[in-house]
């Protein structure tokens, strides 16, 4: 990577510009002891909200959480074994917009302390062994580039080899533009790997969280044997803004939210965060995995 640190511009925030995705709720929880819930507008005590699985105690609004927090919430204590952590982004196109992709990555890595927009590994969920992938919205809007696609594909292959149920918790702005065609191909790659898992009789539980859009929705996220979604998560192919511009009419209340998708027959169950562990375990048991 030819980019030196001098080239890194710090004045502009990194590519967190998927306006459609952002409109759904606060991306990062503001600092401070107290915060205002974006749904009910109440001032809530941060520690209380955090102790409540990052759910508003007043209105049940599900705050967006990092992959680490997700892993902590879903898995048995100390049971998560990270895998594929050796994968790093290569900036294959030497992509430069107003800022080089390489510099954006460095900034994102420094800001989040993470290497990429996903965490994968083996874990136990209420004593049941599973392969778990959690996407991380805090890293470049959880966008899928080669590393995310490869991590998911390797996880699927590991689930096949080790006969483990696979759980992928999605939250993403979609494919990562900075890897263009190669990002796009991750959609085909992950979907093809899921065909193999299906052929092997494996179980894939897809968990959709706010927001799941674009190329992630249009690949592995919608291919679960069972698809669970957190309440009121934005889930869709196109962003609401693009749709509004295209059809030139207002979108109905609750459009592209989990409940809307359940009504449309696209999601099996809307599940509250506090029940996710037990619901996932229940499905694993019913599948006999």
Partner 1 sequence: MALPHVLECEKPLHELERKIQALESLTSNDADQSALDAARAEYAEALAHLYANLSPWDIVRVARHPKRPQTRDYIRLICKDFCELHGDRRFGDDPALITGFARIGSMRVMIVGHHKGADTNDKIACHFGCAHPEGYRKALAKMRLAEKFGLPIVTLVDTPGAFPGLGAEQRGQAEAIAVNMLEMSRMKTPIVSIVIGEGGSGGALGIAVADRVAMLEYAYYSVISPEGCAAILWKEANSETNSAAAKALKLTAKDNLELGIVDDVITEPVGGAHRDPAAMGRTLEQWITDRLRELNRFKPANLPARRYERFRKLGSYLEVEPTPEPSEDAAAPSPAPPAPETDATTPRAAQGNGAAARKPRTRSSEPAPAGN
What's the number of CA atoms in the CB half-sphere (13 Å) around residue 174? 22
Look-up of token digits 């696209």: 266
**Closer Cβ to partner 1, 41 or 248, answer by number:** 248
In the region spanning residues 133 to 162, those forming contacts with Zn ion, defined by CB under 5 A, are none
144 three-state secondary structure: strand
Nearest to 131 by CA among 71, 201, 173: 71
**Closer Cβ to partner 1, 50 or 114, answer by number:** 114
Distance, in Å, from the CA atom of 68 to the CA atom of 271, rounded to the nearest integer, reads 20
Q: Measured from the CB of residue 272, what is the shortest distance to Zn ion in angstroms?
A: 14
Residue 46 burial by Cβ neighbours in a 10 Å radius (0-12, 13-18, 19+): middle
| Position 39 contacts Zn ion (CB under 5 A) | yes
Q: Measured from the CB of residue 80, what is the shortest distance to partner 1 in angstroms?
A: 10
Distances 117 to 44, 52, 135, 157, 261 between C-alpha atoms, Å? 28, 24, 6, 19, 25
In the region spanning residues 41 to 60, those forming contacts with Zn ion, defined by CB under 5 A, are 56, 58-59
| Position 188 contacts partner 1 (CB under 8 A) | yes
Residue of 40, 188, 192, 242 that binds Zn ion (CB under 5 A): 40
Question: With the CA atoms of 272, 277, 279 and 280 taken in that order, what torsion angle do they form, in degrees rounded to the nearest 10?
Answer: 130
| Position 253 contacts partner 1 (CB under 8 A) | no
| Position 186 contacts partner 1 (CB under 8 A) | yes
Q: Which stretch binds partner 1 (CB under 8 A): 33-41, 121-129, 196-204, 281-289?
A: 196-204
Q: Measured from the CB of residue 44, what is the shortest distance to partner 1 in angstroms?
A: 22
Residue of 78, 181, 253, 288 that binds partner 1 (CB under 8 A): 181
In the region spanning residues 209 to 228, those forming contacts with partner 1, defined by CB under 8 A, are 214-215, 217-223
Asked if residue 93 lies in contact with residue 179, where contact means CB atoms within 8 angstroms, the answer is yes
In the region spanning residues 118 to 147, those forming contacts with partner 1, defined by CB under 8 A, are 146-147
Q: How many residues bind partner 1 (CB under 8 A)?
A: 83
Nearest to 171 by CA among 65, 68, 80, 263: 65
Q: Measured from the CB of residue 216, what is the shortest distance to partner 1 in angstroms?
A: 9
Residue 122 in tokens: 């083996």
207 three-state secondary structure: strand
DSSP character at residue 263: H
Residue of 47, 110, 272, 274 that binds partner 1 (CB under 8 A): 110
Residue 109 in tokens: 């890595």
Q: Which residues make up the interface to Zn ion (CB under 5 A)? A: 37, 39-40, 56, 58-59, 61
């Amino acid at each position: 990577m030819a980019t030196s640190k001098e080239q890194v511009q710090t004045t502009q925030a990194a590519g967190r510009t998927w306006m459609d995705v952002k409109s759904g709720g606060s991306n990062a929880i503001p600092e401070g002891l107290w915060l205002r819930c974006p749904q009910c507008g109440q001032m809530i005590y941060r520690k209380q909200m955090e102790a409540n699985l990052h759910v508003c105690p007043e209105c049940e609004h599900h705050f967006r959480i990092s992959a680490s927090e997700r892993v902590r919430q879903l898995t048995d204590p100390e049971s998560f074994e990270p895998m594929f952590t050796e994968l790093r982004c290569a900036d294959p196109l030497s992509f430069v917009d107003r800022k080089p992709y390489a510099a954006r990555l460095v900034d994102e890595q420094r800001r989040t302390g993470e290497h990429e927009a996903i965490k994968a590994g083996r874990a136990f969920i209420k004593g049941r062994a599973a392969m778990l992938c959690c996407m991380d919205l805090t890293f470049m809007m959880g966008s899928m580039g080669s590393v995310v696609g490869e991590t998911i594909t390797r996880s699927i292959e590991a689930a096949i080899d080790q006969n483990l149920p696979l759980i992928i918790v999605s939250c993403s702005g979609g494919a990562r533009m900075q890897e263009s065609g190669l990002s796009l191909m991750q959609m085909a790659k992950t979907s093809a790997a899921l065909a193999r898992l299906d052929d092997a009789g494996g179980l894939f539980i897809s968990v959709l969280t706010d927001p799941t859009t674009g190329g992630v929705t249009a690949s592995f996220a919608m291919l679960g044997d069972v698809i669970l979604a957190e309440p009121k998560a934005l889930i869709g192919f196109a962003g609401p803004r693009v749709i509004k511009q295209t059809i030139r009419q207002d979108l109905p209340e609750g459009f592209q939210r989990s409940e809307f998708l359940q009504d449309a027959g696209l999601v099996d169950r809307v599940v509250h965060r506090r029940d996710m562990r037990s619901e996932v375990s229940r499905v694993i048991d019913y599948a006999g995995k």
